[in-house]
Amino acid sequence: LDIDDSDKTPLQANITTGDDRWEKVLLTDAASKNGAVCLDGSPGGYYIRRRNDDRNDSVENNWIVFHQGGGWCGSNTNCLKRSKGRLGSSNFWGPTYEYGVHGFAGSELFSTPLFENYTVVYAMYCDGTSWTSDVDYPVKVSNNTNETIYFRGRRLLDALIDNLVSVEGLQNASKVLYSGCSAGALTTFLHIDYVASRLSPFSPTVKILGLADAMFSLDRNQFNGAPGGLQKSMKWGYQAWNSSYSVNTGCKKAHSKEDEWKCMIGEHVSIFVKTDLFIINSKYDTWQRKAILGADCDIGINCPKAQETFDILYGQSMVTALEKIPKEYGYFVSNCPSHCQSGLKFNWNYVTIDNVTMKDAFLMWYKQKNNPSKSDQVHIRLVDTGDVGPSGANVCPKRRSDFVADKMFQSIG
């Protein structure tokens, strides 16, 4: 699960948003005063697309806060390598959020008409710990080098919320969708209750909901019996990052001291989250299959029988695990091999279960949660219960090229 993302090229793009509302904000004060820094010691930050106050379509101050994905670093050495690229240093971030650069993460969600006049915050990920780490001192990587790294994810989270509240106007929000993809989805599971507690004193009536895209991951070994890569990284990281303060308290109480690290796994922490959220996942998630199961093939295309059978069992176990989550949750879990689907045009708009698209399923759930007095409340819980391919009239991409953007996430999580 170690991440090799040491690209030193500043982020530029061939694909632009066509929206000049995006602006980069670096949290330099929090870096100097509170030590809220990326792995390399540079300040954290975000891109923000502010709402258009000249429009008269809404008097509400509504927000999306979306956490970038990017996996985790599974050793001090790898964290050092990560610190020399865009997932560990703000020195490599470009001047604006551009869909073609940031892995398409969230882009379809942001451009959905319902959200086109929301203030959107794209929280850049540079700590490698899903915003959980909090080590006071710089960490020396080895005795053979003087190079150091910083584990300050929790301070970055606090700096983000502090600035959004005190500077950007989040304290006056009517609705907040707290969300993320991949490592950002785990961030959503881990921190949404905390963020809700930070905002409720300012606006007791604010409606906070969550969207976790692609990290409803299971605590499973690889198909060959070895511990999964995600398990190994989280078990190491929970101690090395000093993450205990940032993990869900209810989940920690349900586990022994030596197993608290399991609360960094989607299936374990999700059942203790009190804030309503919606889960998007594939039963055959292209990143989970490699990082957790150790698979090196595409299910239904070129998989050895042993791997494909194990993959099918993993998908079936995911369906069982979904039955344990709070009834207020919604979800859309298809058989389409993919990852981070809120940024993939075909998946978001056309993948269907029971004749309902992913986008429509989420929007139905979101609108219902924001209108609780409506009499037509239904549970939006859609899952393809078949194996491997889409069942019945359900729709997946017909060609691998339809979701080639998944390749961008297979290595970074």
Let me know: does 43 contact 36? Beta carbons within 8 Å. Answer: yes
- DSSP type of residue 402: G
Contacts (Cβ under 8 Å, ≥6 apart) of 275: 178, 192, 193, 196, 208, 209, 210
pTM greater than 0.75 (yes/no): yes
DSSP string, 59-86: -S-EEEEEE-------SHHHHHHHTTST
Q: Torsions phi, psi of 334, nearest 5?
A: -105, 175
Q: Torsions phi, psi of 356, nearest 5?
A: -120, 130
Calpha distance 8→92 (Å, rounded): 7
- CA-to-CA dists, residue 11 to 22, 88, 96, 102, 117, angstroms: 15, 13, 9, 8, 26
Taking only Cα atoms into account, the Rg of the chain, rounded to an integer number of angstroms, comes to 20
Q: Going residue by residue through the chain, which has 413 residues, state the pLDDT in tens, using 9 for 90 and above.
A: 443 333 333 333 333 445 677 999 999 999 999 999 999 999 999 999 998 776 555 567 999 999 999 999 999 999 999 999 999 999 999 888 876 554 446 789 999 999 999 999 999 999 999 999 999 999 999 877 789 999 999 999 999 999 999 999 999 999 999 999 999 999 999 999 999 999 999 888 899 999 999 999 999 999 888 888 899 999 999 999 999 999 999 999 999 999 999 999 999 999 999 999 999 999 999 999 888 988 888 777 778 888 888 999 999 999 999 999 998 899 999 999 999 999 888 899 999 999 999 999 999 999 999 987 765 567 899 999 888 878 878 888 764 444 443 333 333 33
Instruction: Specify the pairing of strand 62-67 against strand 175-181.
Output: parallel
Instruction: Specify the pairing of strand 207-213 against strand 175-181.
Output: parallel
**Count of other CB atoms within 10 angstroms of residue 301:** 10
SS3 category, 275: coil
